[in-house]
Amino acid sequence: MTSGPAVRRIVGFALPLTAANLLQQGYLLVDSIVVGRYVGVEGLAVVGATGPLFYLLNAMFIGLGTAFTIRLAHLRGAGQHEDRRAVVRALALTTVVWSVGCVALATVLAGPALALMGIHGDLAADAQRFFAMLSLGFPGIFGSAAVSAYFRGLGDSRAAMWVQGFGSVVNVVLVWILVAVLDAGVSGAALATAAASTLALVVGLAHAARVHPVTGGRSTPAVRRELTDAVRLGLPLASQHIILAVGIMALVWVIQRYGETVMAAFTVVSRIELFTGMLFLDLSGAVTAFVAQNLGHGDRSRARYGLVRTLGLTVGLSVLVGAAVMLARSPIAALFTEDPAARALTERYILIIYPFLALYTVMVVVHGYLNGARRTTAPLICTVIAFVLVQIPVAYLFHGPFGIDAVMWAQVAGWSAGLAYSLFCLRDVLFSRPAPALAPAR
């Protein structure tokens, strides 16, 4: 990524990841469609109730994994290929400890966490069973995410694509068999995810050993240093996701009082957002790797140029994606549920937030630059401002007089505040003359 056309390198890195993540989000959509069709609104409510818990554990690990990706990209840009042994061992140790700890937490804390969100009765019992079944796949889920972080740090997004894509395709097949054919309910959907992730981990490890082997002896002090650096760099990223997850729990607490139909619509729109936002999240990840490699190489001007060009591309794509989703809102809602009230609410939610999609997408691409420049605290502060200080208070204060619409408009308000702060953080990069190139890092 340190030579050649900047945008072509960024897009070329992002597209394989987008293909894999679209498959992954596709399986989540299929999962929701199958659950909605064969289990009903109650099944969608279970998935929505446990979503924040899973997001909390998964996204925190992705934050830590991104720290290892950034470190590997810096080493790759600086040409220090042999130094990655300690990074890989530190990543493996982190993954094992995290997986075991999360299985224990899922067993002990799922019930109290659901109660804090106001989820009680049969819905809470079903959600707890669903989450316990899903926790069987935590080693595979986090392990395959770690393998993907390794591939991305080395600039091999195609390998990450194949591993993630394999797991997603297997998941689609298994969820259809277990839920639609064998009538295993939402527990079958959780079991499908657990089995598919474990298979993806096995495939990913085999491919990594063949294509990007790590050789050499163990160096305990070096592993300790890499763990310390990863925690220091990744803690703001993980904290950002903690805040998001806790904030989503607070929103669920506000939404659940409106009943299962509103919870189901909230789940559907969340799935659609993840699906349509994936390209932009992958552009952000590509910008992170691009900036990390070029700053490691000492070329700040090229890092800035890549960001500016990618932001222009992001705005254009956001307009196209937002328009497409709004035009297709009726058939999209109909895919998930036959309940007229849930479908109508889903369509209304889409019409409110998707005209403002560019606010979100530009913000996440800017965060990609900040992360690549090791300024990981800035996106954390952005999340606090956008989510904690704006979105949640607006939703809570105004849902009484304005109903569920206040929750939808609160999301737009949060995006606006987050983008404003993100651009402020990069004012010296975006609105000043490029800095001269530095000497390559040693």
Query: Mean pLDDT, to the nearest integer, of 95-118?
Result: 82
| Range with the poorest average pLDDT among 82-91, 225-234, 249-258, 408-417 | 249-258
* Residue among 416, 379, 378, 361 nearest 394 (CA): 416
Q: How confident is the model at residue 1 (pLDDT cuts 50, 70, 90)?
A: low
Percent with pLDDT over 70 in the chain? 91
- Separation of alpha carbons 45 and 265, rounded Å: 9
- Specify burial of residue 385 (Cβ count, 10 A radius: 0-12, 13-18, 19+): middle
Residue 266 has pLDDT above 60, yes or no: yes
Dihedral through CA 417, CA 423, CA 425, CA 427, nearest 10?
-150
**What is residue 440's predicted lDDT score, i.e. its pLDDT?**
41
Q: Which residue has the higher pLDDT, 267 or 386?
A: 386
Residue 391 has pLDDT above 60, yes or no: yes
Q: What is the pTM of this model?
A: 0.64
Residue 238 has pLDDT above 70, yes or no: yes
Residue 390 has pLDDT above 70, yes or no: yes
Q: How confident is the model at residue 219 (pLDDT cuts 50, 70, 90)?
A: low
Residue 226 has pLDDT above 90, yes or no: no
Task: Please name the residue that has the structure tokens 């981990």.
Answer: 201
Using an 8 Å Cβ cutoff, are 16 and 158 in contact?
yes
Residue 365 has pLDDT above 80, yes or no: yes
**What is residue 417's predicted lDDT score, i.e. its pLDDT?**
94
Using an 8 Å Cβ cutoff, are 171 and 163 in contact?
no
Q: Which residue has the higher pLDDT, 366 or 162?
A: 366
Instruction: Name, in order, each residue with C-beta under 8 angstroms of 406's C-beta and a sequence gap of 6 or more.
Output: 394, 395, 397, 398, 399
Residue 438 has pLDDT above 70, yes or no: no
pLDDT per position as a tens digit, 165-184: 888 888 888 888 888 888 87
Q: Which residue has the higher pLDDT, 308 or 48?
A: 308
pLDDT per position as a tens digit, 123-148: 788 788 888 888 888 899 899 889 98
Q: How far is CA 84 from CA 78, 91, 154, 388, in A?
A: 12, 10, 10, 37
For the chain, the average pLDDT equals 81
Percent with pLDDT over 90 in the chain? 12
Query: Mean pLDDT, to the nearest integer, of 346-355?
Result: 90
